């Protein structure tokens, strides 16, 4: 369990705390605490990948858990923001549906000993989604339109990255049964 993997696990541990502060009224500062937790989790996402690659700490655990931690964080935030009425349900469903589709393709690929690397589109989609969530979490009226613009950019990148992923990996979907 190296430092990069510990950061990934830490990100997973932060998710329930984020959800608790988003959906309860412990204090007048719940929203800002949830915002801080999300930002810290986002920073750990960047840090764990940088550390793993820079110091040759890439592990199978990290390859498996890092995308799960990202999906858990983003999906939890989107569900909370849908529950609070700040993100339309269709946006959340589209983004989560894309994640299920990609995970399914990756499972089929892994079953056929094919490794699928993340693409520029997928990475851009993740950055846009995290930026959208951060802007919306800030709940600053002056940033409302920016949040809406970034939300639609996220939707476009979600769809484009899914189509790109399917096109680039269509061979994975036509393997014969073993």
User: With 90 as the cut, is the pLDDT of residue 117 above it?
Assistant: no
How confident is the prediction for the chain on average, in pLDDT? 93
Euclidean distance between CA atoms 169 and 105, whole angstroms: 8
pLDDT for res 177: 59
User: With 80 as the cut, is the pLDDT of residue 25 above it?
Assistant: yes
% residues pLDDT > 70 (the chain): 98
pLDDT for res 161: 96
**Residue 122 · residue 156 · CB < 8 Å:** no
pLDDT tens profile 53-106: 999 999 888 888 998 999 999 999 999 999 999 999 999 999 999 999 998 898
């Amino acid at each position: 369990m190296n430092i990069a993997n510990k950061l990934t696990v830490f990100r997973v541990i932060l998710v329930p705390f984020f959800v608790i502060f988003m959906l309860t009224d412990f204090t007048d500062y719940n929203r800002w605490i949830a915002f801080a937790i999300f930002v810290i989790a986002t920073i750990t996402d960047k840090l764990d990948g940088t550390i793993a690659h820079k110091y040759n700490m890439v592990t199978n655990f990290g390859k498996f858990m890092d995308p799960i931690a990202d999906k858990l964080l983003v999906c939890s935030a989107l569900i909370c923001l849908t529950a609070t009425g700040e993100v339309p349900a269709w946006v959340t469903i589209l983004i989560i549906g894309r994640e299920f589709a990609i995970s399914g393709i990756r499972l089929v690929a892994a079953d056929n000993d094919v490794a699928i690397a993340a693409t520029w589109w997928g990475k851009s989609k993740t950055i846009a989604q995290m930026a959208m969530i951060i802007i919306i979490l800030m709940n600053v009226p002056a940033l409302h339109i920016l949040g809406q613009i970034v939300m639609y950019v996220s939707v476009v990148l979600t769809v484009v990255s899914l189509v790109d992923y399917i096109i680039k990996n269509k061979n994975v979907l036509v393997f014969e049964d073993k």
